[in-house]
Amino acid sequence: MPNSKTRRDRARDFPMKQVVTKAAAGHATDNVFAAAHGRLPGSGLVAHIRTRAFEAYERAGLPHRRIEAWKYTDLRTLIGAVLPLAPRPDAAALVRAAASVKQAGADRVVKLVLVDGIFAPELSDVDSLEDGVDVRSLREVLEDTTDGAMAGLVLATTTDAVITLNAAMATDGLVIAIAEGEAVKRLIQIVHVATGSLVSNFTRSYLQLGQGAHAAVVESFVSAEGASGYQTNDATIALVGDEACLSYIRLAADAADAVNISSGIIVVGARAKLDLFSMTCSGSVSRYQGFVTLAGEGSKLSANGVNLIRHKQHVDTTMVVDHAVPHCTSREKFRAVIDECGRSVFQGQIVVRPGAQKADATLTTRALLLSDEARADNKPELEILADDVTCGHGSTSGALDGSLVFYLRARGLSEKDAQALLIGAFLGEAIEEIAPENLRDLVTAQAEHWMQARR
């Protein structure tokens, strides 16, 4: 079925009221863009790309429920307008950020830190980068007037309004190139730290793996003490070369009242492998949208995700996997646990292009509702334009099995402990797909912390 819900989900499918007009949303962002213009890196071609991107965004405004891809996440209703750009972090902000980086850092990684949308080399492990790994800040690339082709590539836009807005407003990010055949031993962790309140951060990163290269990258979103009510708009563009292997993990643990809209645009080459994992466990409004194109024959994708939702959180995962050529494989598994008045949205689309024969794709999404007020909207889709394929999808929503909870309580566990044990088992199938052991342990620890907060 394209949309599987429990009875309690269907009963709450009321229409969302649109409270901000397109003109108002565009005007609010116009003021933000004009105010930030002098702080945005790049001139000449870069400035022209930014202006064109903003004009395209202005014509569309913030996405709303009349756009099919955003029907469950109406940003005009949920956030209303784009906040002013965060100021450049001062010394005090960097000190607060350093404490958050220490807490968020995984073991045995090379950390690259962005504070309020600006690369902070003093908090990063730049000297620990291995041979064959080149890292530059986006600001450096955009201000290099001799490399217009790279500037145009990293500021690429799409028809999606938030990605276009990101191209117009990005203040900084990272450009990472891994040489052909290089097997990067240490994980690369990009840490985004927000220190301000009622401001917005725009970052964009570009990752390129040469032919036969292997690397693992984890991207973390955290907040410093005192940060609240901020908005984050991040975009990552990745090119995975032929026979290369990339593990990419995204962990969002923003402030409780923050907004995080992140986009990933990834192209996978021939006989290459991409392992994706995304987890959101905090924030008021969150959306991760991934656009993966399997562009080379024999490429493989494994995509998994976990969303842990409570209070009145709204968390959206949207994935589009494009089988553009024959003999490609994709496996997708997503889990959501929703408590109190939280809302989970999952939209997954598998596209098989004409001529992409022998495509092998499966997609499953499951939502676990822990209260009568919890809500889940699941929409898996198949668009198959070839005739020799193996494709399938499934979607379920439901509550914990009462008999299992009773069984565990009869053996001495409290109700919350019994629920935590069952929730851990529910999430385990997705989390176990994470290959690097230290990252798997980091994700498991964050999930356990979320479950502890319920007790």
pLDDT single digits (tens) 253-287:
999 999 999 999 999 999 999 999 999 999 999 99
In a domain, 373, yes or no: no
Residue 295 carries which side chain, given as an amino acid letter?
Answer: A
- 8 Å CB contact between 59 and 27: no
Q: β-pairing, 273-280 with 174-178? A: unpaired
End-to-end CA distance of the chain: 35
Secondary structure (3-state) at 226: coil
Give the pLDDT confidence score for residue 305 in this predicted structure. 96
Regarding predicted confidence, which is higher, 63 or 10? 63
Q: Is residue 43 part of a domain?
A: yes
Residue 25 lies in a domain: no
H or E element at residue 96: helix 91-104
Residues 6+ apart with CB under 8 A from 437: none
Instruction: Give the pLDDT confidence score for residue 350 in this predicted structure.
Output: 98
Q: Is residue 132 part of a domain?
A: yes
Q: How many domains does one find in the chain?
A: 2
Structural domain for 440, as ranges:
401-454
Contact between 25 and 58 under an 8 Å Cβ cutoff? The reply is no
Please identify, among 296, 318, 345, the residue that sits at the C-terminal boundary of a domain. Answer: 296
The reply to whether 260 and 405 lie within a common domain is no
Domain boundary among 267, 296, 325: 296
Mean pLDDT on 374-398: 96
**Per-residue pLDDT at 452 exceeds 90:** no
Say if residue 286 is in the same domain as residue 413: no
Classify residue 218: in a domain, yes or no. Answer: yes
With respect to residue 206, please indicate whether it lies within any of the assigned structural domains. yes
Q: Quote the pTM value.
A: 0.91
Structure tokens at 380: 């898996």
Any domain includes 102: yes
pLDDT in tens, 317-369: 999 999 999 999 999 999 999 999 999 999 999 999 999 999 999 999 999 99
Neighbour order of strands in the sheet with 360-369: 118-119, 109-115, 187-194, 214-223, 245-252, 273-280, 300-309, 329-338, 360-369, 390-399
Two tokens at 183?
A: 């097997």
